[in-house]
Amino acid sequence: MATTVHTHHEVHHDTHADEHEHHEGNFWTNYIFSQDHKVIAKQFLITGIFWALLGGILSVIFRLQLGFPEASLEWLRPVLGGWITPDGKLNQEFYLALVTMHGTIMVFFVLTAGLSGTFSNFLIPLQIGARDMASGFLNMLSYWFFFTSSVIMFISLFISTGPAGGGWTIYPPLSALPQAISGSGLGMTMWLVAMALFIVSSLLGGINYITTIINMRTRGMSFTKMPLTIWAFFFTAIIGLLSFPVLFAAALLLIFDRSFGTSFYLSDIYIQGQALAHEGGSAILFQHLFWFLGHPEVYIVLLPALGISSEIIATNSRKPIFGYKAMIGSMLFIAILSFIVWAHHMFVTGMNPFLGSIFMLLTLIIAVPSAVKIFNYVTTLWRGNIRFTPGMLFSIGLVSFFLTGGITGIFLGNSAIDIQLHDTYFVVAHFHLVMGSASFFGMMAGVYHWFPKMFGRMMDHRLGVIHFWITFVGVYMVFFPMHYIGIAGFPRRYYSFTNFAFSSGFTDLNMLVSVAAILTLAAQFIFLFNFFYSMFRGKLAPANPWNSNTLEWTTPRNPQHGNWPGEIPAVYRWPYDYSKPGAKEDFIPQNVPFSETPESNLPHENDQIKLEGSGNSGSIVIGPKH
Amino acid sequence: MMNSIIVLGVILILAILYLIFRVGSLVTVAKGDTGSKVESGNGTHAVLFVVFMIVSLVGFFWYSYVNFDNYTLPIASEHGKVTDKLFWITMGVTVVAFTIISIVMFIFIYKYRYDENRRAAFYPDNHYLELTWTIIPGIVLAVLVFTGLRAWNDITSPPSKNAEVIELIGQQFAWTARYPGKDKELGNVNFKLIDATNEFGLDLTDAKTHDDFKSLELHIPVNKEVLLKIRAKDVLHSVYLPHFRVKMDAVPGMPTHFKFTATKTTQEMRDELGNQAFNYEMACTEICGQGHFSMRFPVVVDTEEDYERWKLSQDSWLKSNPDYVKDVPAGLRESAMIKAGIPVIQEVKQATAVGSN
């Protein structure tokens, strides 16, 4: 009986959706204040690309200082104005501001909003078979909070005291005292306001992702039939929902300390000839709160990229992802552990050493599920039939970075070894590879792979592969040498290394890193050209260009609001029936019932055929609601 | 003029690149659909990945071998030997794993590149395989964790009673050191007492402060445990002694500490490196503002005798700043003068002067 009711609901809904499609909105409701998840995804993507470019340019400016400390940067004066000193050098406080903003932009605005915002929004409804997000309105608000946050953060770059400059981790007291660094004045206030709005955006998005995945899966789409992308977005949203509020609290207390004279983080401070009234606060408290978000944040950034690459690697190896359940299990395990490893960022902060031992133990455990993921990727490639699309190339690049960067985590997670390596370039190399570059490559892979569904056109293949090879080699040239510099003990966030004898070497490597960074940034313009050119002039895309199994490829070339013109397809099988023995094609989409593929069914799948007729494959079915 | 030539040149190059791109696209269109499921040149990427793997692995091993002495710092502390050993054991384990996985992955990528006559294997899982590569990394990591834990516990264990206590104070953008003087005990401090001269914020009502002395170099004895007591005045700093593998944050309002034993005097290290200009150094590794990169503090490791001699040669802070004797409670003044090494005559004169005001 429940089924009958359900079907009615669905039919009713479809009629409604059809009406909706004919009902064309104007420019503002279609492209600006749209509630369509696909448009919102594109808004996140384009804003993310803008931020990525800006973050990249900032890094090249400070790499110029590090690679060519003698060079005159006078030519940057038209852009940077007073931040270039009279003798043509970069201002030292501005150098720190560049480092700070590069980190903030890349971690939050590009790899959180740009990555999750784009692909969770775009893929969740399309891959689970829903017409839109659970709440289109909240989804729209999520983007506009992000946009407002972006505007404030962007404006902070141009104020006379400069943007926040205390590092992206904004440790107080430095971030609380404008007299300690000029960036802790208005720049820091704007940073905090922007981040508060960013967190609101992130929470609105996360609630929507979770609700949509739980409630709005199409007929037959049980949890165990969901693509790994959806699993990854699901865990990411949960992690974000649990950890971002802690950053919000940390930021709020910092705002109190800065503006209202409280002493949550401040104590015993004598600065510029004056003893401050603050007493009884703890600077370490902030670090605990910050990293309680900060470490899960690493996985907020990484998991979507891993989900995307799982999907792309399976599709282009023409093979099921190896160990589907192990992949979900390892992501779940990583998601849980991500909450109880935060203090490995704080081994030498004066925290009780016993806590250090506990966090070291927990941290090294997290290497196990990460290793499982790498082995599963490699085994997926084994005996595949690999097509090197740009999406696939970037996914392979991701696995390579995840391996290279992940393995150095075993050094840093060991508190005894971390004493020497903490806050050196070894750490910079580690997280830029494992989290920065790997996630960035996941994002790029996703753009190349789903561009046809986003814009109905193909991106240019040759430009895509050129972009990949320059970026792949470039990223290694930038970050691999930093391991040596780090082992040699060079501290990070240094404006110049010449004050110390122990860090006076390696000018050659630093120069190489800077040159590679410039070339890598330059290669991104190939992508930009390809992206915008293909949007309008690219080859028309077929509905399913990669012969992929997931539901988004069953939509028309340009899916309208509501995604499917008719009924939403039902799902009968898992998303990885690639190269199934006996099957005619080397892929069987999820919406093909077992009754149509008797030649390739496994014994237990034949038993499923009986269930198919009822329109309910035996799993929990909850129809879309509006 | 030069600028406009550069701009024109760039525009020209971009235009040529665009033309090449257009011509290429049109040629592809003219050739028509080849019917292949992959783009032409698919196999090239497989080859490129193998070339990349070989070149980068060879480059990695070659560079690491040739430049070993450039990127490794000599060790000059007891626990440094232990942590460095752990570092190199971890390096050995991870490099083996990294090399094998990389080679296997890129070989697979090459070997299983697209071939229209072949079909991929349907191989969705294998529990034994998955269990194996969960358990093996688990065991290897457990070994690394337990060796690491033992080292960490030793390094962070309580210092011995007769350790040489030295205080390091970080401020924007310099370090200072305070030594306890003959009584071997550091006197109390209070940040509210800090002024331009009393930079430690010495609380002179505490008799232990009277013989404390300030130094702008960190002198430590060789082969004797040193306990660094670390604090900061304004923002976070971090004590970093690269050759001793020592790092500990300096936190305003929360004193921290780190104990270690130096194993080589400055002179011994100079002889070992064949570089008579060598000096140990201390740096800051926690972002603290614009001068973060320049907080150099010279470090000297002396023989035990030299160290004692050096300490004796240092004037107490109170002796260098006799004006502050007036802050010492009247009852303690005489003993303070004796402890600080101030000639009593001078003090009496001052006391009279203060009294007549």
Q: How many CB atoms lie within 10 A of CB A233?
A: 28
Cα-atom radius of gyration of chain B, to the nearest Å?
A: 32
Separation CA A62–CA B119 (nearest Å): 49
Using a CB-CB cut-off of 8 Å, the residues of chain B touching A496 are 293
Residues 230-289 in B contacting A (C-alpha not used; CB under 8 Å): 230, 233-236, 238, 240, 242-243, 245-249, 251-254, 256, 277-279, 281, 283-289
Do A484 and B72 count as a contact with CB atoms less than 8 A apart? no
Min distance B357 CA to chain A CA atoms (Å): 27
Chain-centroid distance of CA A617 in Å reads: 34
Rounded-to-integer distance, Cα B290 and Cα A496, Å: 11
Task: Dump pLDDT digits (tens) for B177-226.
Answer: 999 988 999 999 999 999 999 999 999 999 999 999 999 999 999 999 99
What local confidence, expressed as pLDDT, does residue B32 receive?
A: 72
Largest CA distance in chain A: 84
pLDDT at res. A606: 87
Query: Out of A283, A361, A403, whose CB is closest to B254?
Result: A283
pLDDT of residue A372 exceeding 60, the answer is yes
pLDDT at B232: 96
As given in the structure block, the two tokens for residue B80 are 């440094």
In which band, very low, low, confident or very high, does the pLDDT at B354 lie, cut at 50, 70 and 90?
A: low
Range B126-135 burial, b when 16+ CB lie within 10 A, else e: eeebbeebbe
The terminus-to-terminus CA distance of chain A in angstroms comes to 22
Question: Are residues A322 and B296, on separate chains, in Cβ contact within 8 Å?
Answer: no
* C-alpha angle A587-A591-A593 in degrees, rounded to nearest 5: 90
Tokens of A71: 């060079």
Quote the pLDDT of residue A24.
66
Residue A295 scores a pLDDT above 80: yes
Displacement of CA B220 from its chain's centroid (Å)? 19
CB-CB: which of B39, B84, B97 is closest to A407?
Answer: B97
DSSP structure class, residue A501:
S
Count of alpha carbons within 13 angstroms of residue A435, beta-carbon side: 22
**CA proximity to B240, closest of B168, B183, B154, B172:** B168
How far is it, in rounded angstroms, from Cα A121 to Cα A45?
A: 10
Nearest by CB to A420, from B70, B192, B245: name it. Answer: B245
For an interface test with B, which of A420, A425, A494, A528 has the most B Cβ atoms less than 10 Å from its Cβ? A420
- Binary contact (B191, A488; C-beta < 8 A): no
**Phi (first) and psi of residue A578, to 5 degrees:** -100, 140
Chain A hits for B46, CB-CB cut-off 8 Å, are 386, 388
Sign of the torsion formed by the C-alpha atoms of A331, A335, A341 and A345: positive
Cross-chain residue pair A275–B194, CB shorter than 8 Å: yes
When pLDDT is cut at 50, 70 and 90, the band that residue A199 belongs to is: very high
Q: Structural domain boundaries of chain A?
A: 37-265+281-537
pLDDT digits (tens, 9 = 90+) for A208-218: 999 999 999 99
Q: Is pLDDT of A237 > 70?
A: yes
List of chain B residues whose C-beta atoms are within 8 Å of the C-beta of residue A384: 108, 112, 120-121
Shortest Cα–Cα distance, A146 to chain B (Å): 28
Mean pLDDT of chain B: 91
> Residue A17: its pLDDT value, please?
43
Q: Give residue-wise pLDDT tens across range A14-52.
A: 444 444 444 567 788 888 889 999 999 999 999 999 999
Per DSSP, the three-state class of A470 is helix
Give the confidence band of B3 by pLDDT, cuts at 50, 70, 90: confident
For residue B4, the model assigns a pLDDT of 87
Q: What is the mean pLDDT of residues A580-609?
A: 90
Q: Which token pair is A19?
A: 């009406």
Angle at the Cα of A16 (from A617 to A20), degrees rounded to 5?
125
Inter-chain contact A399–B105, Cβ cutoff 8 Å? yes
A298 has pLDDT over 80: yes
Closest-CA distance of chain B to residue A231, Å: 18
Whether residue B159 is predicted with pLDDT greater than 50 in this model: the reply is yes
Integer-rounded Cα Rg, in Å, for chain A is 25
Residues of A in contact with B148 (CB under 8 A): 360, 414-417
- Provide the CA A397 distance to its chain's centre, in angstroms: 16
Rounded Cα distance, A350 and B250, in Å: 8
Q: Are strands B213-215 and B280-284 parallel, antiparallel or unpaired?
A: unpaired
Q: ipTM of the assembly?
A: 0.93
Per-residue b or e along A268-294, where b marks 16 or more CB atoms closer than 10 Å to that residue's CB: bbbbeeebbebeebbbbebbbbbbbbb
The per-residue pLDDT for range A157-189, each reduced to its tens digit, is: 999 999 999 999 999 999 999 999 999 999 999
Say what the pLDDT of residue A23 is.
53
Of the candidates A66, A41, A10, the residue with the CA atom closest to the CA atom of residue A127: A41
- The pLDDT tens digits of the residues spanning A246-255 come to 999 999 999 9
Per-residue tokens: A346 = 């704080």
Residue A612 has pLDDT above 50, yes or no: yes
What's the pLDDT tens digit per position in A539-579?
Answer: 999 999 999 999 999 999 999 889 999 899 999 999 999 99
pLDDT band at residue B266 under the 50/70/90 scheme: very high
Q: Does A2 score more than 70 pLDDT?
A: no
Give the whole-number percent of chain A exceeding pLDDT 90. 87
What is the reported pLDDT for A608? 85
Q: How confident is the model at residue B23 (pLDDT cuts 50, 70, 90)?
A: confident
At B353 the pLDDT is: 52
Q: List the one residue out of B137, B135, B117, B119 whose CA is nearest residue B127.
A: B135
The pLDDT assigned to B348 comes to 54
Question: pLDDT, tens digit, for every residue of B287-325?
Answer: 999 999 999 999 999 999 999 999 999 999 999 999 999
Report the SS3 class of residue B168: strand
Q: Cα–Cα distance between A575 and A549 in angstroms, integer?
A: 6
Please answer yes or no on whether A500 and B296 come within 8 Å at the CB atom. Answer: yes
pLDDT confidence band for A609 (50 / 70 / 90):
confident
A-chain CB neighbours of B105 within 8 Å are 377-378, 381, 399-400, 403
Find the angle CA(A211)-CA(A215)-CA(A221) to the nearest 5 degrees.
Answer: 125
Whether residue B62 has pLDDT greater than 90: yes
Task: Mark yes or no for CB contact B236/A326 under 8 Å.
Answer: no
DSSP code at position A437? I
- Upper half-sphere CA count for residue B9 (Cβ side, 13 Å): 6
Q: What are phi and psi of A385, to 5 degrees?
A: -135, 85
Q: Does B176 touch chain A (CB under 8 A)?
A: no
Query: Residue A524: what pLDDT?
Result: 96
Predicted pLDDT at A19: 42
Distance from CA of B300 to the nearest CA of A (A): 14
Measured between beta carbons, the chain B residues lying within 8 angstroms of A546 are none
CB B102 within 8 A of CB A400: yes
CA A529 to chain centre: 22
Give the integer Cα–Cα distance in Å for A489 and A421.
Answer: 7
CATH code 3.40.50.720 for A37-265+281-537: no
Provide CB contacts within 8 A for B297, sequence distance 6+. B168, B174, B175, B177, B216, B217, B218, B281, B282, B283
Would the CA dihedral through B70, B71, B72, B76 be positive or negative?
positive
Are A404 and B289 in contact (CB < 8 Å)? no
Residues in chain B: 357
Q: Which residues contact B182 (CB under 8 A, 6 or more apart)?
A: B211, B339
Calculate how close chain B gets to A270, using CA atoms only, in Å.
5
The position carrying tokens 């900032």 is A58
Residue-by-residue DSSP string for A74-112: GGGHHHHGGGB-TTS-B-HHHHHHHHHHHHHIIIIIIII
Q: Cβ(A208)–Cβ(A135) under 8 Å?
A: yes
- At A3 the pLDDT is 38
Instruction: Give the pair of three-digit tokens for residue A381.
Output: 């490639």
Average pLDDT taken over every residue of chain A: 91
Angstrom CA distances, B331 to A140, A488, A597, B336, B355, stand at 74, 54, 101, 9, 15
State whether residue B282 is helix, strand or coil. strand
Q: Which is it for the CA torsion B60, B61, B63, B65, positive or negative? A: positive
Please, what is the angle between helix A390-407 and helix A283-317, to 10°?
140
A369: helix, coil or strand?
helix
Burial class (CB in 10 A: 0-12, 13-18, 19+), A237: buried
Query: How far is B248 from A386, CA to CA, in rounded Å?
Result: 50
Instruction: Give residue-wise pLDDT tens across range B76-112.
Output: 999 999 999 999 999 999 999 999 999 999 999 999 9
Binned at pLDDT 50, 70 and 90, residue A400 comes out as very high
Residue B1 reports pLDDT greater than 80: no
Residue A533 near residue A571 (C-beta atoms within 8 A): no
A559's CB contacts (< 8 A; 6+ apart) are A38, A126, A453
